[in-house]
Structures are given as structure tokens and as C-alpha cells.
Structure 1
Amino acid sequence: MNTVKELRLFFKLLSENQRFARFTMRAVLFALWLWLAIQTIALIELLVA
């Protein structure tokens, strides 16, 4: 159960550092958006081909 302790520490750090938390959320959202865009393009290419 070491990962639970690490996660708890991570969230404690996030709550203490709001600016870092916002940056992290933005980075995660951007990565998700990028992944979705790539998946969509791949799907369109499959349908067109």
C-alpha cells in the first residue's frame, strides 16, 4: 500500500501549491485533448481509406 501513501502526499502537495495544481490540470487536459485529436484523425483516415 505504498502507492496510496504517495498519492496522498501528492494531493497534499497539490492542495498546498495551487499554481502548480492549475498547471498540472492544464497539462493533463491538453494531453487528453491531443490524444483525442489523434484518435479522431486516425478514425477518419480509416473511414476514408
Structure 2
Amino acid sequence: MRLFWSILFFGGLAWYVFTIFHVGIKGFEDVKQMLTNITKNNKAKEENK
């Protein structure tokens, strides 16, 4: 029974760590893309003035 709970615990921990890193990396990429788009839009607006 102890083996079962150990596997369950470490499997859950691994899933949690993977999810945190995955969401963090994807979120970072999205923020970087949004900032790039904002910069492009600001430059385009300045050129049209």
C-alpha cells in the first residue's frame, strides 16, 4: 500500500511541476508576442502622425 501512495504522490508532483513549467513557458511566449505587437502598433501610429 505504501508503494501505491508513493507512486501516486511522486506522479502527482511530477505532473504539477510539468504543468507549472509548461504554462509558464507558454505564458512567457504569449506576453513576448503581445509586447512585439504593441510595439509594432505604436511605431505604425507614430509614422501616421
Percent identical across equivalent pairs? 6
Q: Partners of 2:35 and 2:12 in 1: how far apart?
A: 34
Q: Which residue of 2 aligns with 1:24?
A: 18
| TM-superposed deviation, 1:18 | 0.8
The equivalent residue for 1:37 is 31
Q: Which 5+ residue runs of structure 1 have no aligned equivalent?
A: 1-15
TM-score w.r.t. length of structure 1: 0.65
How many residue pairs match? The answer is 34
Structure 2 portions without partners, runs of 5+: 1-9, 44-49
Decide which structure has the larger Cα Rg and report it.
2
Normalising by structure 2, we get a TM-score of 0.65
Supply the AA of the counterpart residue of 2:33. Answer: Q
Which aligned runs of 4 or more in structure 1 are off by greater than 3 angstroms?
A: none
Distance 1:32 1:26 in 2: 10
